[in-house]
Amino acid sequence: YKEHTVVVPHYGILKVGAKPVVVVVSEENKSLIIRAPFTLIHGRHAETISTLLSQKTGVKGDDDAVETKIVDSELEIEDGSAKKLIWACCMWLLCHDLEQNNDDSPISVEKVHDEKGTQLRALVEEMLPVMEFKLKRKLVDGRIDRILDYMESYSRSMPGAIPSIDLAKREIKDRNGYLLSVGANEMSQPLHEELVRRVVGEELLQQAKTFQNTKVGSDTETTRIESSELQLTFASLPSETPPAQTVIVVGAGMMGSCVALSLAKRGVTVTVLERQSMENVGVTTPASWAWINANNKSPPLYRQLNVLGLLAWKRHADLKKLPLWTGSIVRVSKAAAASDTMGTYAIEGPLNKERLLQLEPSLEPSFSSDDNDDDGGGDHFYYYPDEGSVDPSEAVRVLRKKAIEMGVVFLGQVEVQNVSRDDQTSVVFF
């Protein structure tokens, strides 16, 4: 827990592209509002993730933002994870236990509480001691009734939700297997085993029992790449291929020069091939606008990569003095602006004309009559104070100079015609 940020989510996404479901108003009693439990967050990035998750969903007036709770206690985040895992283990089985369903079709999670309450209680009573055995301690608030109350509030906050049986099958070793891997001699789970056998068969039951508890982030799972220069640590999947001792980089523009310098800093012997003369800085690089930003980027992983890029420009020892951090004013449509409020860095807007001219007096903005109407169209202006720009040609020259000092060899007017691979390495023909 000290090295990782842990999130125990409590919201439902009922279809691709849909917004999170966290609150339901009872049809029978309009004053009865059912909310999902808090999404629990623990770790060094907890504040950032909480800000992301607790943003409004994009429609002004919504009160269905994900409610988060940052917890400092490792026991509390562990207890939250344990209860959520019990919910996940129970629900897909009881929803898809067709032999016990009234119409031979899967039922939703809230119907489990209405139609299978007795079976659910028996299953939780069977799983809870096993969970505490795995944790080597009692849950802080591990009373059966409290756990069932938690499970019901979560289930009823997502009306109509039916867990994916295909996903459950793929995850069975890490989900139900966490509990079923405890041998029958230690703790018997006859109801749990019978449900798995009935819903997905004996073969998957036996697979679930082979769960191996591997520490998250251990060397058997990931390789840690430290970047002291950027003050960041990256995790990657381990490779069976031994690290390269010599590398040829094709292209001496921004990407090629940066890759060459990074490899040289790790002790790799690097040669860079460039089809133009070395007085030039490539083709793409000098044509770039070099706007350093992360707004309106999709999908989310690409957006996160751009946020890390902003951080790298501010921390990289050889580059951090080059950017001009003047901020950016962006003109966008209503839809684009709404989707961008989930940013992980500062955003101000939409701006009125007075504020816009205060930031950039030379602008002559055109506002339609609907711009201040939340339901209207027209253009909208946003200010991103943490963004900037850089002269890409100057950045390449700095990177090349540093790379040469590290022993990198740059060869100009060399055009690569083909790359041919064998079983051991890559051979470059030019």
Per residue in 122-135, pLDDT (tens digit) is 999 999 999 999 99
Give the predicted TM-score (pTM) of the model.
0.54
Span 19-47, mean pLDDT?
75
pLDDT digits (tens, 9 = 90+) for 153-184: 999 988 889 999 999 999 999 899 999 988 76
pLDDT digits (tens, 9 = 90+) for 278-287: 887 767 777 7
Binning pLDDT at 50, 70 and 90, where does residue 228 land?
confident
Residue 338 clears pLDDT 60, i.e. is over it: no
Span 198-214, mean pLDDT?
83
Span 247-263, mean pLDDT?
92
> SS3 sequence, the chain?
CCCCCEEECCCECCCCCCCCECEEECCCCCCCEEECCCEEEECCCHHHHHHHHCCCCCCCCCCCCCCEEECCCHHHHHHHHHHHHHHHHHHHHHHCCHHHCCCCCCCCHHHHHHHCHHHHHHHHHHHHHHHHHHHCCCCCCCCHHHHHHHHHHHHHCCCCCCCCHHHHHHCCCCCCHHHHCCCCCCCCCHHHHHHHHHHHCHHHHHHHCCCCCCCCCCCCCCEEEEECCCCEEEEECCCCCCCCCEEEEECCCHHHHHHHHHHHHCCCEEEEECCCCCCCCCCHHHHCCCEECCCCCCCHHHHHHHHHHHHHHHHCCCCCCCCECCCEEEEECHHHHHHHHHCCCCCECCCCHHHHHHHCCCCCCCCCCCCCCCCCCCCEEEEECCCEECCHHHHHHHHHHHHHHCCCEEECCCCCCEEEECCCCEEEEC
- Give the pLDDT of residue 57: 43
Residue 26 clears pLDDT 90, i.e. is over it: no
- Give the pLDDT of residue 417: 85
Residue 376 clears pLDDT 80, i.e. is over it: no
Mean pLDDT of the chain: 82
pLDDT digits (tens, 9 = 90+) for 73-119: 899 999 999 999 999 999 999 999 988 777 789 999 999 999 999 99
- Give the pLDDT of residue 55: 64
